[in-house]
Amino acid sequence: MSNVFAELEWRGFVQQATPDVEAHLGGGRRTVYCGFDPTAPSLQLGNLMPIMLLRHLQLGGHRPIVLMGGGTGLIGDPSGKKNERPLLSKEQIRENLQHQRDQMSRLLDFDSKETRPLVLDNADWLEAQTLVPFLRDIGKHFTVNLMLQKESVQARLDAGISYTEFSYMLLQAYDFLHLFRKERCTMQVGGSDQWGNITAGVDLIRRVEGGEAHGLVAPLVTTASGAKFGKTEAGAVWLDPALTSPYQLYQFWVNTDDRDAERYLKLFTLLSQDDIQALMQSHAKNPGSRAPQKRLATLVTELVHGRPACDTAVAATAILFDEFSPRDVAPGTFDVLAQEIPTASVDASTGLLLVDAVVRAGLAASKGEAKRAIEQGGIYVNQERVKDVAHKLVAADWIAGRNVLLRKGKKDYALLRVLNEKAS
């Protein structure tokens, strides 16, 4: 087996681990699980770190289990939360779980025969539990004193924590025990906020089965400025393209601070140490090229959304930020642009004057303002400057029969799209 623990350490995935975890991973193929909370309609960017942790373990020859919290999601994990979250219905949990399960299929290698991931739902065994046997067989192994010492509980004592969320630790520990028994799973991984829950499971397996189990947690990611990772002014960055478009995901990574670029390449890509070092050396020679950020953005967007969606995000970025000709991109790129820049529908059969088009697109408040902008050379049609105020949009201006990209000055873009599939 490869020394996957050393790889994880180099990449920055190891904040805490149980003793002898390196020897355990080096002693043969292990089954390793990570739990995911289905209380949101999609996985978020923050979930990508434990997923990449599983992916590297899989590359190291170990079998991942993705545990969807269909049961624990009905309770709510207090870890990392200042206040108790509202309880969702079973129907909403099931719907969220299915969305997340579909997203996971692209993020791990499901074609590998020996390390093919298992995707399980803990509702399958937790909902079958009855209270008295659970308290007798599982609850007796936990002291309240020990539970109160766990960070996830300590952080909530002032604000208050319900018995429901207080019991979450027992359920997660039981998950580990169940997977140890049924799937020979001997290791759990997660974010650092899960350390208390993970070690509770390790202790339970030792007490009940006399078995050896291990845990490893990664640090919670922050930006170099100290901000929470995976958040923007618009809110969370989602892995669902309906909530965060591939273009927006690509932009998130392209805008990575120089101070974070190398760290994120290690955490969120499969690039080798030599490849990352070469990128950073290139960046040192030419910081303006932002080569590490572009590579990072391309690899993560392709991983999450696939190559075609990534290609259109790259093309849209080239148009809007590098003044790339829109005539050289696939027609689908205009669907991306229509979601990201002001877009107006027009009827091309009327032979629209450029002056009117600029007003219609919202790049000028009046025809007089539009005329002045054109005369001063500030208006571009498909990235080409037009200074003729009498210019009329003709069929040749409509790319793919229905798209005209307008620009005012350096950065103000708008898209015109005809209502039908043909332009005259």
CATH code for the domain of 285: 1.10.240.10
DSSP 8-state symbol, 353: B
Residues with Cβ within 8 Å of 276's Cβ and at least 6 positions away in sequence, in order, are 262, 265, 266, 269
With cut-offs at 50, 70 and 90, classify the pLDDT of residue 323.
confident
pLDDT of residue 228: 80
With cut-offs at 50, 70 and 90, classify the pLDDT of residue 326.
very high
* Residue 297: inside a domain: yes
Higher pLDDT, 396 or 164: 396
H or E stretch including 339?
A: helix 332-340
**pLDDT tens column, 239-263:** 999 999 999 999 999 999 999 999 9
pLDDT of residue 423: 44
DSSP 3-state assignment of 170? helix
CA terminus-to-terminus distance, the chain: 65
pLDDT of residue 388: 94
Higher pLDDT, 135 or 180: 180
Mean pLDDT, rounded, of the chain: 91
Residues 97 and 62 placed together within one structural domain of the fold = yes
Residues with Cβ within 8 Å of 373's Cβ and at least 6 positions away in sequence, in order, are 358, 363, 364, 379, 408
* Residue 147: inside a domain: yes
Rank 2-6, 211-215, 329-333, 398-402 by mean pLDDT and report only the highest: 211-215
Distance between CA atoms of residues 320 and 383, nearest Å: 10
With cut-offs at 50, 70 and 90, classify the pLDDT of residue 231.
confident
pLDDT of residue 74: 83
Residues 62 and 189 placed together within one structural domain of the fold = yes
pLDDT of residue 47: 93
Lowest mean pLDDT among 1-5, 79-83, 286-290: 79-83
| Among 255, 213, 215, residue whose Cα is nearest residue 232 | 255
pLDDT of residue 226: 81
pLDDT of residue 81: 61
Q: How far is CA 192 from the centre of its chain?
A: 18
Kindly state the tokens that stand for 386: 């037009």
* Residue 254: inside a domain: yes
**pLDDT tens column, 147-193:** 787 777 777 777 777 788 888 889 999 999 999 999 999 999 999 98
**CATH code at 348?**
3.10.290.10
Residues 210 and 259 placed together within one structural domain of the fold = no
Higher pLDDT, 80 or 140: 140
pLDDT of residue 395: 87
* Residue 162: inside a domain: yes
Distance between CA atoms of residues 387 and 172, nearest Å: 67
pLDDT of residue 399: 92
Distance between CA atoms of residues 176 and 319, nearest Å: 50
Residues 63 and 124 placed together within one structural domain of the fold = yes
Lowest mean pLDDT among 145-159, 220-234, 308-322: 145-159
- Under a CB-based contact definition with an 8 Å cutoff, are residues 259 and 224 in contact? yes
pLDDT at 405 exceeding the cut of 90: yes
Q: Which domain holds residue 307?
A: 231-324
- Under a CB-based contact definition with an 8 Å cutoff, are residues 56 and 210 in contact? no
Q: How many domains are there within the chain?
A: 3
